[in-house]
Amino acid sequence: MKIIVAIKQVPERDAQVRIGSGGKWIEEADLQYALNESDAYALEEALQLKEKHGGEVVVVSAGPERVGSTIREALAKGADRAIHIDCDDLGQRDALGVARLLAEAVKPEQADLVLTGLQSEDLGLGQTGVIVAELLGLPHATLILHVEKTETGLTVKRELEEGWFQSIEMPTPAVLAIQSGGNKLRYATLMGIKRAKTKDVRRVTAAELGVSAAPVVQLEQVTLPHKQKSTQMLSGSAKEAAAALVEKLKFEVRVL
């Protein structure tokens, strides 16, 4: 069973983000980077399937030279080899443009399964996986917590709203977008880190894949969230004030 896992390198969660001088993206020079969380769960799901059924796990990631550290982390955890799409302008590409890069890179692999994270922590669009599926002409499903291989294909567990789950049978090949939290993530061992240095990483450029950088969606401006404080006084009796507070928590703050 050959499994492709698309992974993305994103700024660490506690990174102090600053807007770049052009106002269209963040300042990347001083940031620390890490593997996108839901992509880490996609990798874990792939590794567990490989351990049960055999086969090969191939990771693919697009980005500049620094992406190599995230690729090596995936190889150290157990991926067999990697494809690095060398691309310095990833931040200028929309979801369709990134999906085209990934689809063209993995198409020759003829994989049985392509896994992506549900969404990236930097942009959070949640579109790349389903667009890759469309470009490859493969069936897909999202919000996946667990995958089981069957004689006829796959059985996947999807997370729905309010504690509900859905089980779906799917054929292979297929594309699945993995939700965070389905498995316990593993750490790279010392032996795994040593082995990663000898594993194959194939580098390919966007030009070699024949994918242009012209986006369909134009990003006009990136801004930091506006912080503000406000106070509302609830009048009436204690019972009336409590009822009004519950309404606001439900429909304005949306925490109930």
b/e string for 172-191 if b means 16 or more Cβ within 10 A? ebbbbbbbbebbeeeebeee
Contact 177, 140 (CB under 8 A): yes
The fold adopted by the segment(s) 2-209 is Rossmann fold (3.40.50)
3-class state of residue 113 by DSSP: strand
CA atoms within 13 A on the CB side of 43: 30
CA atoms within 13 A on the CB side of 215: 12
pTM: 0.84
Strand partners, 174: 113
- Count other C-beta atoms under 10 Å from residue 211's C-beta: 22
In this structure, is the dihedral angle defined by the CA atoms of residues 207, 100, 109 and 69, taken in order, positive or negative? positive
Q: Kindly list the strands in the beta sheet with 56-63, ordered across the sheet, starting from the edge strand earlier in the chain.
A: 165-170, 154-159, 140-149, 174-178, 113-117, 2-6, 56-63, 81-86, 201-205
> Can you give the length of the chain in residues?
256
Q: Report the interhelical angle of 95-106 vs 128-136 (nearest 10°).
A: 50
Angle at 89 between CA 85 and CA 94, to 5 degrees: 90
For the chain, the structural domain boundaries read 2-209
**Two tokens at 234?**
């609830």
Angle at 100 between CA 94 and CA 101, to 5 degrees: 95
- Count other C-beta atoms under 10 Å from residue 103's C-beta: 23
Q: What is the pLDDT along the chain (256 residues), one digit of tens a residue?
A: 999 999 999 999 888 888 888 888 888 878 889 999 999 999 999 999 999 999 999 999 999 999 999 999 999 999 999 999 999 888 788 999 999 999 999 999 999 999 999 999 988 889 999 999 999 999 999 999 999 999 999 999 999 888 899 999 999 999 999 999 989 999 999 999 999 999 999 999 999 999 987 888 888 888 887 777 778 888 889 999 899 999 888 888 777 7
**Two tokens at 1?**
């069973």
b/e string for 131-169 if b means 16 or more Cβ within 10 A? bbbebbebbbbbbbbbbebeeebbebbbbeeeeeeeeee
Contacts of 194 (CB under 8 A, 6+ apart): none
